[in-house]
Chains A and B, each alone.
Chain A
Amino acid sequence: MIHWWRILFCGITFTALMLPAVVRAEEQSSTFQLYGISHPEREADLKQILQMIPAISDYQLNQSGDHITLTYEPLELFAPQEQEQLQKNLPIPAEKTEQKLKELISQSSRNTFELLPAAEFSEEQFTRIEIPINPLDCKACRFAVYSYIAKVPGVVRAKISTEPSLLTAWIDGSQTSHEALLKILTDKNVPLPEDESAAAP
């Protein structure tokens, strides 16, 4: 004869035992500004990098590719020795997990991807400039041009396109200018069409 109270007792016990595991497996999502998507092919590189970090289960890029939302298991970001310590004081502070995410992404990509504080913006707020550059067939060269510009104060977004061969940047005109960016490119020996080179300060 099955006693109903025995079934209830087993169920409660099972749930109690499973509850910490459910609590431990709680995923979180965070959104960051992403440095590194200089051109569309870089998304494949990003995917490869993220696959190297098992704690990250999913990601979403915004349309312009400059912001990313990562879904991850916070505790799994840390080494086993650290996890033991962190488990005593769950949940892990958000700053700590986000800092860890930044470190992991930077290290895995040798600093060709970086997570920065989210700063969504509307393109209408900023000035869009285009600087033609000589065609660059090498993806590392395209990234190099991007890297010279993307972190300049006043540049909120930068992209390299191949057809046409352009550097496109959205800038805060009070902090930088077309001429200033052109000078940076010239100083770095980025190959520019003749008229652009002539226009460089």
Chain B
Amino acid sequence: MAFLRIILPVIFPLLISLPVSADIQPFFQKHCLECHNADSKEGGLDLSGLKMQDDQFRTFLKIHDRIESGKMPPPGQERPAKAELQNVLTELDAFLIRAEQLQYPDEARTPTRRLTRVEYENTVRDLFEMPGLQLRDRLPADNSVNGYDKNSDALSISHVNLARYLEAADLALDYAIATQPEAPTFQQHKVSLASQYYVRLLIQSNGGAVFLKDKKPDPDFIPVDGRQHIDQGLHERFGMFETESAVGVFRHEDESFLPWTQGFAAIYPGRYRIKTSLWSYTWDKGEVKPSRGVEAMRLSVKQLQGHGLGQDHPSYVIGYYDAPSIESQEHEFVHWLNPGESIGFNVASLAPVHIYHQYKRNLYSFTGPGIACDWFKIEGPIFEEWPPHAHRILFADLPLKPFDPKAKELSYPRRTIHKQVMSGAKNHSDPFPGYWTVQTDQPLEDARRLLSQFLPIAFRRPVSEEMLDSYAAQVQNRLAAGDCFELAMRWVYRAALCSPDFLYHVEPDGKLDDHALACRLSYFLWNSMPDQELMQLAAERKLSNPDVLPQQIERLLQDPHSNRFVKDFCGQWLKLREIAATDPDKKLYPEFSTYLQDSMVLETEAYFRELIEQNLDASYLVKSDFAMLNEKLAVHYGIEGVSGPQIRRVALPPDHPRGPFLTQAAILKITANGTTTSPVPRGAFVLDRLLGQPADPPPPDVPAVEPDVRGATTIREQLALHRDHVACAACHAKLDPPGFALESFDVIGGQRARYRSIGEGDSAERGSIDPFIHISFKLGPQVDPAGTLPDGQQFQDICEFQQLAAADSHLLLTNMARQFAVYSTGREIRYRDRAAVREIVARVESQGGGLRTLIHELVQSELFQTR
């Protein structure tokens, strides 16, 4: 084999450096050479002297695909007979397969690949049952190939990765290992929004917040009326902010107001129960009245830096919660918090209003919406057992005993003293419990026992005796060097978490064994390690059983862990990870907000989830009779009757353009640049991601088209010259039509008949834009969404384009099969995989063409079950 690896690249060009075969040459002469000869070279292709060499693989691949799809010979030319066509395709097929096999002689379809950083984080979280452990951002960003970081070609490793893996393993072990015999004290605290200094400032002086009692202004702390309350510090000493009153907030977060519940910050890592009571109202110059509907309060986790002072702390969103009109609604959820984390909040559905500037801090001259919070209750940490699972998976039931850190005979672990980092927090750390560590009278026996339990779970497959011996030997070495038992075991656990057996997908050549199948299935649908049930089935060699595997696919899809698949797949396939890559121009799109942006992502993920849940066919990628919306999106899309921040299925009238991925705001934002749209990137996205027919990259010396934000000319007009150029026409004939259809939507996915401009144009009507948002953009030229597909079919608008695109559901389904295959197997679809994909698609189509069926068929296919 090694001989072949050396010799083949040398002789390969000779082996297939052949003239075009006898079956193909007559076909070329009859149907192709008239245009593709040495003189005319239409499309840059000269078939007259073409030889079948390895560097012509891509050329022959294109030739094959053009002929197979019927695009060549072009419309209007004599069509080849069926048998003739079949012959030439068979010849080309044989060449391409042979060429590809020679290029990758004995390489498995999927090369060895490591876990992506998302997979790594999920795996460690699930291994230790610590769902909020933050590890991903500590690791170097993964590369991606064709948008997928799971692609093995993207997953390199360097000394930087290894250094970070060591740090990440240390952090995980720090959190996992119990350092005291009893769980940290369970504490319950009630916290007001007024615990936060900046909220107090709003109440006391700026007018951005107010105390409310019994759904009215609190008479003990009247709202500012153009004058601020005197001396905030004294008000604090007076206890004015320690009240049972609700806090109503008008001010949306911005660069100087990023609030969180300053009365609580987690000290110990663990699960915390968070409850809150929310409602909304209309403030009418000092009176509290019913609100315009269900408003949305955004809750997030703030990771405090230092003593929690200052404003800007990294955060991530937990979710958006209903604040109904006047009637308080309680919300409750359990969430993992790491030390120093607190709960941030934002009145997300309110437009930015500055009472201080715009109303001279006089709340008696302001009428507008507000969101009130009666209280926050935070309790925890919650432990069902102690020591928790994370510790038990490392040390089982070995007892914790006190130790003297100053003792010289052994090295003992250093302990971190848990302290409250946030000034003014109500929850406090427990008294220092002393120094405790796991101890045993038979360290070597216990080490082996613990490793024999931990390693197979961590490595996701059985572990050989030799491997066990090598890890146990390391424990022995560390004990001999003077480490206590905990330190010795920690050493090898860290090594295990940084070993290839943990960091890499271990897959045997050829057909996957049950353990590799369990991993591949789990990392596909849960983006993480297999659970106990999958591992058990794999150990019993039952997983690949055709009666068992479908049940497991269903189980995984129905489990909440599959939301990770939804998020990760949509993040890569539809590039949702790039949703925040551009900031829409504030003058052109003043209605844009992070709430709208988050809603966009939720829509796309929920829609994908719905396609899987309902087993809908691939035509729903481009056309739909429903959408997944919340009120924010519904208003944005001009759809009535949706209230509140929760995403739900909304039926649409026939021929409504909204609903499918094609017309979702997230996709439309990702394919724009924040200021202008262009048919080219949007068309390229549709071709590549939805239709599976990516366009060739542009020639290297093509300049970018500069958009005209003055509104004098449209992008269509600017592209016209571009498109008429012979060298550009072939690609743009395919790229532009979907892009033109999508010109009906602006950079944030709103539908438009005219372009917005900041220069010339007519006055714009407010429409559904919040009355508190100032608009200054104008309306420029009309949008022309009409176009002609390469096959000559014409459309006048986005709806007609959707009809045409949805008609070829086979194409759409084939694309989805490819996308799922790339994502789940970690490898591009090569030419030799096409037959397998065709077979999968055919089986799915025979069962109705649903995407859930596609997942089943893919997992049960040889393509999936072979490395």
Contact = CB atoms under 8 A, between A and B. Distances in A.
A112 B238 contact: yes
Contacts of B726: none
A143 B238 contact: yes
A140 B227 contact: no
Interface string A178-198: 000000000011110000000
Contacts of B240: 138, 140
Interface stretch (B45-53, B228-236, B474-482, B544-552): B228-236
B239 A138 contact: no
A121 B526 CA distance: 81
A145 interface: yes
A190 B230 contact: yes
Interface in B209-240: 219-222, 227, 229-231, 234-235, 237-240
Interface in A151-197: 188-191
Interface in A6-44: none
A141 B235 CA distance: 8
Interface string B229-263: 11100110111100000000000000000000000
Contact of A141 (B219, B229, B237, B239): B229
Contacts of A69: none
Given A137-B222, A138-B221, A139-B220, A145 B238 contact: no
A139 B238 CA distance: 9
Contacts of B234: 112, 140, 143-144, 147
B222 A144 contact: no
A188 B238 CA distance: 18
A43 B229 CA distance: 22
B227 A134 contact: yes
Interface string A111-146: 110000000000000000000001011111101110
Contacts of A141: 229-231, 235
A180 B604 CA distance: 67
B230 A110 contact: no
Given A189-B230, A191-B227, A138 B237 contact: no
B856 to A, nearest CB: 67
Contacts of A136: 230
Contacts of A191: 227
Which interface class (under 10, 10 to 19, 20 to 34, 35 or more) fits B?
10 to 19
A42 B429 CA distance: 36
A112 B237 contact: yes
Nearest to B233: A144
A140 B222 contact: no
A145 B230 contact: yes
B241 to A, nearest CB: 10
B863 to A, nearest CB: 72
B18 to A, nearest CB: 93
B237 A110 contact: yes
Nearest to A190: B230
Contacts of B238: 110, 112, 139-140, 143
Contacts of A110: 237-239
B237 A111 contact: yes
A111 B239 CA distance: 12
Task: Give the most central of A138, A140, A191: most B CB within 10 Å.
Answer: A140
Contacts of A189: 230
Contacts of A145: 230
Nearest to A185: B230
A190 to B, nearest CB: 6
Contacts of B229: 138, 140-141
A111 B233 CA distance: 12
Contacts of A190: 230
Contacts of A140: 221, 229-231, 234-235, 238, 240
A141 to B, nearest CB: 5
Contacts of B235: 140-141, 144
Interface in A87-131: 110-112
A138 B227 contact: no
B141 to A, nearest CB: 50
Interface in B247-285: none
A141 B234 CA distance: 8
Contacts of B237: 110-112
Contacts of B219: 137
Contacts of B239: 110
Contacts of A144: 230-231, 234-235
A140 B229 CA distance: 8
Residue among B219, B238, B240 with max Cβ neighbours from chain A (10 Å): B238
A192 B808 CA distance: 77
A136 B234 CA distance: 15
Interface in B84-120: none
A129 to B, nearest CB: 20
A138 B231 contact: no
Nearest to B240: A140
Contacts of A137: 219, 222
Contacts of A143: 234, 238
Nearest to B219: A137
Interface centre among B229, B231, B235, B237 (most CB of A within 10 A): B231
A167 to B, nearest CB: 12
Contacts of B227: 134, 191
Contacts of B222: 137-138
A147 B238 CA distance: 12
B611 to A, nearest CB: 57
B225 to A, nearest CB: 9
A76 B227 CA distance: 45
Given A110-B238, A137-B222, 13 more contacts: A110-B239, A112-B237, A136-B230, A137-B219, A139-B220, A139-B238, A140-B230, A140-B231, A140-B234, A141-B229, A144-B234, A147-B231, A189-B230
Interface of A: 110-112, 134, 136-141, 143-145, 147, 188-191
8 contacts: A110-B239, A138-B240, A139-B220, A143-B234, A144-B230, A144-B234, A144-B235, A188-B231
